Amino acid sequence: MPLRREPGPRGRRARAGRGRDRDVTTTERKTSTNKSLAKAVRMLKLFSAQEPRLALAEISARLEMPKSTTHAILRSLVAEGLIEKIGGEAYALGTGILALSQSVRVNVEIRDRAAPHVRALADKAGESVYLTFLEGDHILYIYAVESSRRLIARTAVGDRMPMHCTGVGKAILAHLPEDEARGILGRVGMPRITPNTITDLDALMADLAAIRERGFSFDNGENETGNYCVGAPVYGARGRVIGGCSISGTDPEIIGSRAPEIARLLISACLDMSRNLGYVPPSFSQLHSTVR
């Protein structure tokens, strides 16, 4: 068998040079993308109630960009529905902006109505409490009361997470129609976040069935090693799950000996939040048996 010849110093330098070239190209591409995004944001901010329509030439002049670059960015924003072309070369904000503002309004409304219940729940449980909203195929953390014992000194508010790896996400998935839950998992995937993350679809579906049966979920360090939580769903006025809430901490007994009491507090608070959002439980007897 012929011997493989090791590259000499010149070959190694050339190979290393090609690696650096690839790194530089990737960095330049990211920088270019960030600059284009910044330009698009500046472009959207030009429109106001006083100036709802602007011509291509005006936009180009105000942003000090060539018309060709301005037109290219406008074309992308039009494709996404964030800007509309209004005859000739005039542009205005598109209906996609309304959809985004509606999402913000809903999130703020849910947060404001639920916040007192979240704070009271955190006081009773003595642990961190998180409120999330179902946003597309992910959950968005919109409010949190962090325990002083939490090791990571940062808030989760504003984080978007997949649902398969969090207690609150699994609580939401379990109370969505099964075909919808499977569709979300198919689109997002089930990446492994920690060694305890459930990445097998059949295993997760079995877990979701158990969650539906008992009314609350467990997170056994599936999103953050050494962190445990109990999650439950929050419903909207139409009776559909719209978000969830969880009690979370570093004490493994949260999902052990403390679980019955933690779950009772959590489900009671989630039902109060849901009622404040217009949800009507099917019957008083069901409400009583759920939180008993």
pLDDT-based confidence at residue 2 (cuts at 50, 70, 90): very low
Residue 259 and residue 225 share a domain: yes
User: Residue 276's pLDDT is what?
Assistant: 87
Half-sphere exposure of 186 (CA within 13 A, CB side): 6
Domain boundary among 59, 93, 127: 93
Determine the pLDDT at residue 29: 53
Structure confidence at residue 292 as a pLDDT band (50, 70, 90)? very low
Domain boundary residue, one of 35, 61, 93: 93
Let me know whether 120 and 150 are in one domain.
Answer: yes
Mean pLDDT of 5-32: 52
Query: Looking at the structure, do residues 265 and 139 belong to the same domain, yes or no?
Result: yes
* pLDDT tens sequence across 255-281: 999 999 999 999 999 999 999 888 888
1 vs 146, higher pLDDT: 146
Q: Are residues 80 and 210 in the same domain?
A: no
pLDDT of residue 249: 92
Domain count, the chain: 2
Give the domain range for residue 278. Answer: 110-291
Query: What pLDDT, on the 0 to 100 scale, is given for residue 7?
Result: 52
User: What CATH number does residue 20 fall under?
Assistant: 1.10.10.10
Q: Which helix (H) or strand (E) holds 242?
A: strand 241-249
116 and 60 in one domain?
no
Mean pLDDT value across residues 18-33: 53
| CA proximity to 78, closest of 64, 62, 89 | 89
Same domain, 34 and 146: no
Higher local confidence (pLDDT), 58 or 289: 58
Same domain, 196 and 277: yes
CATH code: domain of residue 140 = 3.30.450.40
Average pLDDT for 19-47: 68
Tell whether 64 and 200 lie within a shared domain: no
Q: What is the pLDDT of residues 198-251, one digit of tens each?
A: 999 999 999 999 999 999 999 999 999 999 999 999 998 889 999 999 999 999
Count the Cβ atoms, other than its own, within 10 Å of residue 39: 16
> How many angstroms separate the Cα of 131 from the Cα of each of 50, 198, 215?
37, 22, 17
Residues 120 and 197 in one domain: yes
Q: Show which of 61, 93, 125 is a domain's final residue.
A: 93
Q: Is residue 99 part of a domain?
A: no
Rounded to an integer, the average pLDDT of 90-111 is: 69
C-beta neighbour count of 83 within 10 angstroms: 25
Helix (H, G, I), strand (E, B) or coil at 8: coil
The larger pLDDT score, comparing residue 281 to residue 141, is at: 141
